[in-house]
Amino acid sequence: MSTATADPGWHRAMPRNRRPRDREEKRAEIVTAARTLFVDDGYDAVSMARIARAAGVVSNTVYWYFGDKDGILIAVLDEVLADALERSGELTLLEPADRLLWVLTELEQLSRLVTTVHARSKESESIRAWHERFHALTDALLRLELAGLGVPDDGVDEVTTIAIYVLEGLLMHPVEPARKRAVLETLLRGAKGSAIS
């Protein structure tokens, strides 16, 4: 009997191998557990074993997926950034000051992660590289915002640098919402003024 006639087609009816999907689900569970722990308790207070327990796996599994705690932190940061970028699409109808306020509010809710990134970037090459990519993305988004305000290309470098310093200053030294809004509106008025002059 030839293999062509002996094949009843059972292999086509079998479900696909679920291992790749299971791996992605397990990885996502680890990232979700780590995100909650890092935000609630801070990076330094959370061990790999604790992340593993929260995700329902053994510690070796966490190391297998991420290598070290900085690897998990980067995965958490990537997830947070992806979530924020996905929600930011709803902001296009808002005024520029409101969009900047939204960004600050998002980052303030994750203040422990922001502080961790700044601290770890001095010690970890991988976190430093992530932080530099984040700044490049922030710079690009600010440039788009400033171009929309009419800031010319030859003045955008300085205005973008000032905007980043203002945003980081407001993030690291929180002030009441009305004052924060006033600072952002002054920044944007200055940017518009540089576009006119």
Nearest to 189 by CA among 96, 101, 102: 96
Nearest to 137 by CA among 60, 57, 64, 82: 82
For position 154, which CATH number holds? 1.10.357
Question: How many domains does the structure of the chain reveal?
Answer: 2
pLDDT, tens only, 131-159: 999 889 888 888 888 888 888 888 788 88
Query: Are 140 and 48 in a shared domain?
Result: no
Query: Are 105 and 60 in a shared domain?
Result: no
Nearest to 170 by CA among 122, 124, 102: 102
Q: Is residue 24 part of a domain?
A: yes
For position 61, which CATH number holds? 1.10.10.60
Q: Is residue 108 part of a domain?
A: yes
Q: Is residue 10 part of a domain?
A: no
Task: Give the residue with greater pLDDT, 118 vs 9.
Answer: 118
pLDDT, tens only, 28-83: 999 999 999 999 999 999 999 999 999 999 999 999 999 999 999 999 999 988 88
- Tokens 């996905």 belong to 86
Give burial (CB, 10 Å; 0-12/13-18/19+) of 92. Answer: exposed
Nearest to 37 by CA among 53, 25, 61, 24: 53
Query: Are 91 and 184 in a shared domain?
Result: yes
Query: Are 89 and 186 in a shared domain?
Result: yes
Phi-psi region of 162 (alpha: psi -120 to 50; beta: other; left: phi over 0): alpha
Query: Are 99 and 128 in a shared domain?
Result: yes
pLDDT for the residue 14? 45
pLDDT, tens only, 160-177: 888 888 888 888 887 888
Query: Are 133 and 194 in a shared domain?
Result: yes
Nearest-angstrom CA–CA distance, 188 and 97: 7
Query: Are 147 and 196 in a shared domain?
Result: yes
Query: Are 126 and 161 in a shared domain?
Result: yes
Nearest-angstrom CA–CA distance, 73 and 34: 8
Nearest-angstrom CA–CA distance, 92 and 81: 18
Query: Are 172 and 133 in a shared domain?
Result: yes
What's the N-to-C CA distance of the chain in angstroms? 87
Give the whole-number percent of the chain exceeding pLDDT 90. 40
Query: Are 85 and 125 in a shared domain?
Result: yes
**Domain range spanning residue 164?**
74-197
Query: Are 23 and 120 in a shared domain?
Result: no
Q: Is residue 11 part of a domain?
A: no
pTM: 0.76
> What is the signed CA dihedral for 85, 157, 133, 79, rounded to 10 degrees?
-10
